[in-house]
């Protein structure tokens, strides 16, 4: 017998059907375009290249080598099978002691030993996604709000709000000062929430930033810490990209700021500070769902631990990670090599964009660039940005993320990921961008850096076009709209 199908949403809870997941948002169009037509170098060379996914795939050879050399930590091997029974039975919610110690040590290592983490304060969750929800659940009631500096990771709209009923209030940051989080911007957002009768429970930051790929400097971190301290609200620091910092300046985590307290004139209330971490980016293991809440507040830690039974990390995964991260030689080598490869990929990508006059926000971390395409907008509005985005997906066949999906205050910025593909796919992506820029006569228009840069771009142009076997777009030089006219006369 076939059961009748029903679209009656009243059969489900309001929360389950309130679209808080955001899946219907137009932002998913890019993902659909990729899913329907994924690029493959031989079977689908015209397909869409995925540049909207912040995955770190550059060091899997190192991981594979370690796994082969250390089969005892994989319990489904002859060398590891004797541990199978213990690992497969119930373990307590605190997690394996060896796992918590290894994670705490890894977090210290990533911060250059300048901050200490107590393994007993590590609370597990299903990735940073679960960690954020856990923290929001512990800190806020439905209707309460967190302030979030823009642009921000779009997943926050789902992770923090959907099942908790918490609201997010943007702290509007601007490109003119590299999207710096200022005290003025924090105060404005706080005031706006108060005027709207919204109770502010905290501030959430990502450091290094997703989507900017920048790190917060000491002065900014101190200023944010002082702000929450004075208002008696929480600070949640998402530091899941901590080990992706591939160039100077070094990463400074909030824990370092709290530990230097004695030298400062301010006494921080540690109960207000919480770190969210995961291995999804730094090790490149999003599939393992290893998330961590490190709270300085005992009540949050205890409540979080009770909740973590809803999103425990599988003991099999804990066991493997414990073995891998307690291998100090491996960790040292992995971090150094990962930084080197990320730096090289970032350089390759930004240099090639620069040659066609496309600029990026100066960044030294993350798995993506914040690319400035404002000059290519037909109109400087969100509609203009979405129109350009659709062209990039449908014609250039690249899935990138428009800044509006990250609540950017300025239309025309795009987050473009560079570490989720091999070198050949990256070269193909670059080739498509160059072709698009030249075929549409955008050299110089894209730059916006004035005639000198335009002339430099033009200098590279004929060589690039020869490489790409594209006829030289003569009208480009003569176009009255193009800044190149100035450069050539
Ligand atoms: C800033 C930020 N926080 C949290 C997450 C979610 O991470 P996880 O895969 O560990 O749940 C992401 C994923 O991209 C992210 O960029």
Q: By C-alpha distance, which of 361, 348, 104 is closest to 213?
A: 361
* Predicted pLDDT at 4: 63
CA distances (Å), origin 25, targets 127, 157, 321, 436, 487: 23, 11, 35, 27, 42
Kindly give the number of the ligand 1 atom that is closest to the alpha carbon of 291: 10
Provide mean pLDDT across the span 207-235. 97
Q: What is the pLDDT of residues 403-447, one digit of tens each?
A: 999 999 999 999 999 999 999 999 999 999 999 988 876 655 555
| Most ligand 1 atoms within 8 A of CB, residue of 27, 128, 293, 365 to mutate | 128
- Bridge pairing between strands 368-372 and 413-417: antiparallel
The alpha carbon of 10 and the centre of ligand 1 are apart by a number of angstroms equal to: 32
Q: Tell me the H-state helices in 24-96.
A: 28-36, 60-69, 84-88
> For this structure, is 386 an active site residue?
no
Choose between 438 and 54: higher pLDDT.
54
Q: How far apart are CA 288 and CA 269, in angstroms?
A: 34
Kindly give the number of the ligand 1 atom that is closest to the alpha carbon of 206: 1
Pick the residue whose CA is nearest to atom 14 on ligand 1: 54
Stretch (H or E) spanning 256: helix 254-259
Other C-beta atoms lying within 10 Å of the C-beta of residue 102: 22
| CATH 3.40.640.10-classified regions of the chain | 72-326
Q: Which residue has the tokens 């969100």?
A: 382
Give the confidence band of 400 by pLDDT, cuts at 50, 70, 90.
very high
Provide mean pLDDT across the span 447-452. 44
Kindly give the number of the ligand 1 atom that is closest to the alpha carbon of 278: 10
Kindly give the number of the ligand 1 atom that is closest to the alpha carbon of 210: 1
Q: What is the pLDDT of residues 177-186, one digit of tens each?
A: 999 999 999 9
DSSP 119-131: GGGEEEEEHHHHH
Other C-beta atoms lying within 10 Å of the C-beta of residue 163: 16
Q: By C-alpha distance, which of 382, 408, 388, 409 is closest to 400?
A: 388
Q: What is the pLDDT of residues 120-145, one digit of tens each?
A: 999 999 999 999 999 999 999 999 99
* Predicted pLDDT at 486: 28
Angle at which helices 328-355 and 451-468 pack, to 10 degrees? 100
Say which residues have a Cβ less than 8 Å from residue 422's Cβ, sequence separation at least 6: 57
| Residue in 39, 152, 153, 190 annotated catalytic | 153
> For this structure, is 281 an active site residue?
yes
As separate numbers, helices (DSSP H) first and strands (DSSP E) second, the chain gives 17, 13
| Most ligand 1 atoms within 8 A of CB, residue of 152, 205, 212, 240 to mutate | 240
| Residue in 281, 282, 294, 296 annotated catalytic | 281
30-34, 167-171, 253-257, 483-487: the lowest-pLDDT one: 483-487
| Residue in 157, 238, 282, 352 annotated catalytic | 238
The alpha carbon of 404 and the centre of ligand 1 are apart by a number of angstroms equal to: 18
The alpha carbon of 61 and the centre of ligand 1 are apart by a number of angstroms equal to: 23
Q: What is the pLDDT of residues 456-470, one digit of tens each?
A: 444 444 444 444 444
| CATH 3.90.1150.10-classified regions of the chain | 26-60+332-438
Structure tokens at 44: 């689908």
What is the Cβ-side half-sphere exposure of residue 151, based on CA atoms within 13 angstroms? Answer: 28
Pick the residue whose CA is nearest to atom 3 on ligand 1: 128
Q: Tell me: cis bond preceding 249? Omega within 30 of 0 counts.
A: yes
Provide CATH code, domain 72-326.
Answer: 3.40.640.10
Q: How does 219-244 read in b/e, with b if 16+ C-beta sit within 10 Å?
A: ebbbebbbbbbebebbbbbbbbbbbb
| Most ligand 1 atoms within 8 A of CB, residue of 129, 131, 284, 415 to mutate | 129
Provide mean pLDDT across the span 189-215. 98
3-state DSSP call for residue 143?
coil
| Residue in 75, 240, 254, 477 annotated catalytic | 240
Cα dihedral sign, 216-222-226-232: positive
Q: What is the pLDDT of residues 259-268, one digit of tens each?
A: 986 656 789 9
Kindly give the number of the ligand 1 atom that is closest to the alpha carbon of 131: 11
Pick the residue whose CA is nearest to atom 15 on ligand 1: 153
190-194, 212-216, 266-270, 470-474: the lowest-pLDDT one: 470-474
Choose between 53 and 442: higher pLDDT.
53
Vertex 267 angle, CA 266 and 271, to 5°:
135
Kindly give the number of the ligand 1 atom that is closest to the alpha carbon of 132: 4
* Predicted pLDDT at 442: 66
* Predicted pLDDT at 113: 95
Q: Tell me the H-state helices in 356-422.
A: 382-391
Provide CATH code, domain 26-60+332-438.
Answer: 3.90.1150.10
Q: Which residue has the tokens 């029974």?
A: 85
Give the confidence band of 307 by pLDDT, cuts at 50, 70, 90.
confident
Q: What is the pLDDT of residues 4-40, one digit of tens each?
A: 666 667 789 888 888 888 776 777 788 889 999 999 9
Q: How far apart are CA 196 and CA 198, in angstroms?
A: 5
Other C-beta atoms lying within 10 Å of the C-beta of residue 6: 8
Evaluate whether 356 touches 371 at the Cβ level (below 8 Å).
no
The alpha carbon of 128 and the centre of ligand 1 are apart by a number of angstroms equal to: 5
| Most ligand 1 atoms within 8 A of CB, residue of 204, 280, 286 to mutate | 280
The alpha carbon of 419 and the centre of ligand 1 are apart by a number of angstroms equal to: 15
3-state DSSP call for residue 328?
helix
Ligand 1 pocket, Cβ-based, cut-off 6 angstroms: 54, 127-129, 153, 155, 206, 210, 238, 240, 278, 280, 286, 291
The alpha carbon of 54 and the centre of ligand 1 are apart by a number of angstroms equal to: 9
Q: By C-alpha distance, which of 170, 101, 55 is closest to 421?
A: 55
* Predicted pLDDT at 205: 98
3-state DSSP call for residue 291?
strand
């Amino acid at each position: 017998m076939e059961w009748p199908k029903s679209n009656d949403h009243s059969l489900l809870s309001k929360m389950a059907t309130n679209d808080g997941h955001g899946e219907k948002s137009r932002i998913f169009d890019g993902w659909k375009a990729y899913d329907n037509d994924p690029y493959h170098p031989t079977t689908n060379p015209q397909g869409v290249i995925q540049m909207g996914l912040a995955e770190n795939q550059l060091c899997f050879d190192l991981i594979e080598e370690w796994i082969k050399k250390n089969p005892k930590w994989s319990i489904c091997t002859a060398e590891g099978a004797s541990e199978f029974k213990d690992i497969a039975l119930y373990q307590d919610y605190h997690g394996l002691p060896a796992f918590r110690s290894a994670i705490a040590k890894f977090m210290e290592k990533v911060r250059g030993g300048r901050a200490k983490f107590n393994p007993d304060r590590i609370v597990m969750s299903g990735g940073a996604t679960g960690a954020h929800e856990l923290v929001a659940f512990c800190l806020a009631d439905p209707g309460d709000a967190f302030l979030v500096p823009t642009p921000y990771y779009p997943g926050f709209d789902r992770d923090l709000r959907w099942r908790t009923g918490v609201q997010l209030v943007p702290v509007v940051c601007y490109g003119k000062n590299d999207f710096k989080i200022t005290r003025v911007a924090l105060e404005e957002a706080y005031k706006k929430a108060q005027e709207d009768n919204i109770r502010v429970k905290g501030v959430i930051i990502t450091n290094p930033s997703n989507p900017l790929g920048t790190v917060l400097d000491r002065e900014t971190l101190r200023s944010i810490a002082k702000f929450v301290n004075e208002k008696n609200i929480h600070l949640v620091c998402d530091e899941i990209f901590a080990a992706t910092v591939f160039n100077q300046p070094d990463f400074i985590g909030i824990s370092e700021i709290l530990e230097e307290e004695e030298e400062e004139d301010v006494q921080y209330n540690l109960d207000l500070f919480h770190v969210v971490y995961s291995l999804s980016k730094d090790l490149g293991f999003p599939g393992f769902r290893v998330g961590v809440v490190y709270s300085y507040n005992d009540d949050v830690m205890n409540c979080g631990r009770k909740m973590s039974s809803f999103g425990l990390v599988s003991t099999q995964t804990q066991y493997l990670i414990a073995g891998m991260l307690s291998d100090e030689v491996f960790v040292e080598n992995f971090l150094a090599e990962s930084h080197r490869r990320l730096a090289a990929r970032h350089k390759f990508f930004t240099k090639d964009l620069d040659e066609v006059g496309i600029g990026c926000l100066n960044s030294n971390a993350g798995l993506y660039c914040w690319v400035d395409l404002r000059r290519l907008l037909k109109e400087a509005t969100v509609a203009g940005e979405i129109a350009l985005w659709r062209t990039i997906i449908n014609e250039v066949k690249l899935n990138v993320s428009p800044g509006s999906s990250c609540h950017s205050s300025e239309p025309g910025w795009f987050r473009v990921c560079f570490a989720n593909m091999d070198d050949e796919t990256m070269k193909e992506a670059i080739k498509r961008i160059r072709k698009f820029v030249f075929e549409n006569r955008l050299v110089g228009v894209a730059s916006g850096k004035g005639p000198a840069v335009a002339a430099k771009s033009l200098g590279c142009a004929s060589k690039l076009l020869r490489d790409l076997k594209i006829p030289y777009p003569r009208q480009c030089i003569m176009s009255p709209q193009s800044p190149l006219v100035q450069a050539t006369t």
